Amino acid sequence: MIITVSLNPALDKTARVDVMRPNSLNRLEDVRLDAGGKGVNVSAMIQTLGGNSMAAGFAGGGAGDELLARIAGQGLAHDFVRIASVTRTNLKLVDKGGSLTELNEPGPEITAEEYEALEKKLLGFGTKGNFFVLSGSLPRGLQKDTYKKLCALLRKNGAAVFLDADGEALEKALTSIGTEVPDFIKPNRFELLKLFNMEDRETSETVLIQLCKQLLERGVSLVCLSMGPEGALFVNPQGTWRSPALPVKVQSSVGAGDSMVGALVYGFEKGLGAEACFALAMAASAGACTTEGTRPPSPDLVNELLKQVKLQKIN
């Protein structure tokens, strides 16, 4: 079973502008509203591929009601903890060149009792043999080491954990060694370099791979490094694979990383080989770039793109 966890979900409002003009009036077009939150996006991708998952997290207020209604409308199984504070709404603006500007609210205030209710719920799903996807930012009220604590708790009870977070939340989750760190992580290039207090001054692929391998030494089983138009690197104890980005017409990159995570965890649960999982992740991510808002690509598009994926084992 796959359980996706969105600690700070949102209603995602996506709109188009001709050209972003700071300090001026910008008229929006093609406005759409989606159930957001990285874990929700992951569940949607899993569903597209024919799999099943349980989406969990926090939801509060009228925005929370709308969030859950839209999740249900997508046919996604879900079990959220209702909270007193109001779920956030995020605005994502895409200009005609495909550039994305995101305006994200900080999120609701989570009480200790609400967090304990979610933790109890996650353990109630059962852990042994299950996959948990923990992704996204942390709402107010939760400590920066929340993902670290959840990783240790879930892995101790026999679950595999995929973490897609950034900043201090990711850094703290990787400070332990062995079974307390996440099994799988998906940083982007900027997030990886930030972990090691490095600046991106045309950092070579060799250096990026070395940094990924240092994370393996802490107990991580797979580092999936997304690099936008440069493609992705997949590093595990068996080797390193390079995969160039697929040439697609980009509508919006929103949710592309979540689709990559969804495809990976779907492949892991189905017992696919490593290279099959990596290829599926590349196809799903590229497909997501062709859709508006946070919608996942169609199964037919993923299958078509899958034929175009190139994987090269480089060591």
The two structure tokens encoding residue 264: 């990976």
- 258 part of the active site: yes
Find the catalytic residue in 12, 145, 183, 258. Answer: 258
| Beta strands 2-6 and 131-135, pairing class | parallel
- How far is Cα 73 from Cα 152, in angstroms, rounded to an integer? 33
CA-based nearest residue to 192, from 160, 151, 233: 233
Could you give the residue numbers annotated as active site?
Answer: 258
